[in-house]
Chain A
Amino acid sequence: MLKYLIEKEFKQIFRNPILPRVIIVLPFVVLALFPLAANFEIKNLKVSIVDNSHTGMSDELIQKVAASGYFNLTNVSYSYKDGLKSVEQGKADLILEIPSGFEKDLLREGSTKVMISANAVNGVKGGISSAYLANILMDYNNDIRMELMPESNTAGKSLTITPLFLFNPQLKYSIFMIPALLVMMLTMVCGFLPALNIVLEKEKGTIEQLNVTPVNKFIFILSKLIPYWIIGFVVLTICFGVAWLFYGLLPAGSILTIYLFVSVFVLAFSGFGLVISNYATSLQQAMFMMFFFVITFIFLSGLYTPVSNMPGWAKAISVISPLKYLMQVMRLVYLKGSGFGELITPFLYLCGFAVFFNSWAIMSYRKKNK
Chain B
Amino acid sequence: MNRLINNKGKRARNRRVFGAFVRKEFKHILRDRWTTIILLLMPVVMLLLFGNAINTEVKNAKVVIYDPSNDDATRTIINKLLVNDYFILYKTVSSPQEIEPLFQEGEVGMAIVFSERFYENLLHTGEAQVQFMADGSDPNTALTLTSYATAIVTSAQQELLKISEVPLQITADVKLLYNPTMKAVYNFVPGVMGMILLLICTMMTCISIAREKEKGTMEVLLVSPVKPLFLLLSKAVPYFVLSLADLTIILLIAVFGMGVPIAGSFFWLIILSFIYIFLSLALGLLISSLVRSQIAALLISGMAMMIPVIILSGMLFPVENMPWFLRWLGQVVPAKWYIEAVRKLMIKGLDFSSIILEISVLTTMAIGVIMVALKTFKNRLE
Contact = CB atoms under 8 A, between A and B. Distances in A.
A117 B175 contact: yes
A335 interface: yes
Given A113-B171, A144-B168, A285-B35, A119 B106 contact: no
Contacts of B117: none
Interface string A112-143: 11111111111111111011011101101100
Interface residues of A, number: 117
B334 interface: no
Nearest to A97: B173
B218 to A, nearest CB: 15
A163 B105 CA distance: 21
A110 B167 contact: yes
B172 A134 contact: yes
B320 to A, nearest CB: 8
Contacts of A130: 174, 176
Q: Is the interface of B mostly helix, strand, loop or mixed?
A: helix
A176 B187 contact: no
Given A36-B326, A123-B183, A304-B54, A176 B38 contact: no
B128 A39 contact: no
B142 interface: yes
A311 B312 contact: no
A113 B350 contact: no
Contact of B34 (A168, A173, A289, A309): A289
Contacts of B377: none
Contact of A149 (B129, B139, B153, B168): B168
A334 B75 CA distance: 36
Contact of B303 (A26, A125, A154, A310): A26
A124 B207 contact: no
Contacts of B20: none
A316 B121 CA distance: 46
Contact of A40 (B150, B300, B318): B318
B363 interface: no
Interface string B310-324: 011000111011110
A18 interface: yes
A259 interface: no
Contacts of B58: 309
Contact of A30 (B107, B173, B182, B307): B307
A8 to B, nearest CB: 17
Contacts of A38: 311, 316-317
19 contacts: A33-B326, A36-B323, A37-B322, A89-B354, A117-B177, A120-B176, A121-B179, A121-B187, A127-B144, A154-B161, A159-B130, A162-B129, A163-B133, A163-B150, A165-B136, A166-B134, A171-B136, A285-B32, A285-B34
Given A113-B171, A292-B42, A336-B103, 4 more contacts: A89-B354, A120-B179, A159-B128, A336-B135
